[in-house]
Structure 1
């Protein structure tokens, strides 16, 4: 794994992204602290999941989108 500064990324981003494209992970630092990790993207599912996969397995209550009680909102500082 390669570690580079944010300034290096700004100056040579094409080179670093080419390395990522070939499978390498790059850690980006700023003032000695890690601020990002750039890695190759993972492949998405070959086929999308079918719509309604869980149909009939649970019920949505009639008040699902009703406002929350004030006590619950208070607990979450909302």
Structure 2
């Protein structure tokens, strides 16, 4: 992790961004105190999940969207 001042980053922002792209984490200081951190983002997986990945592993019950029974509702409400 590298510590640099606001003035330093102003003078060479593109160079610091390239260093971050290479994997470095940079902490920016103002008045000797850290104010921000620039670090590489977590790379998202390249492949998307296939549609129907868990097909057949569970079944949605027919009453899924029916109102909850009164006893359960009262428990949620703390009665």
Q: Report the TM-score when normalising by structure 1.
A: 0.58
Structure 1 unmatched runs, 5+: 63-78
CA displacement at 1:45 relative to structure 2:
3.4
1:32 shift after superposition: 1.0
Determine the C-alpha separation between the residues in 2 that align with 1:44 and 1:25: 19
Q: 2:38 & 2:23 partners in 1: Cα distance? A: 10
**Structure 1 residue 50 displacement after superposition:** 7.6
- For residue 5 of structure 1, what is the aligned residue in structure 2? 5
- Deviation, 1:46, is 3.2
Once superposed, what is the RMSD of the aligned Cα atoms? 3.0
Using structure 2 for the length normalisation, give the TM-score. Answer: 0.57
**Relative to structure 1, is the Cα distance of residues 33 and 49 closer, same or farther in structure 2, using a 3 angstrom cutoff?**
farther
Q: What is the alpha-carbon distance in structure 2 between the residues aligned to residue 50 and residue 31 of structure 1? A: 50
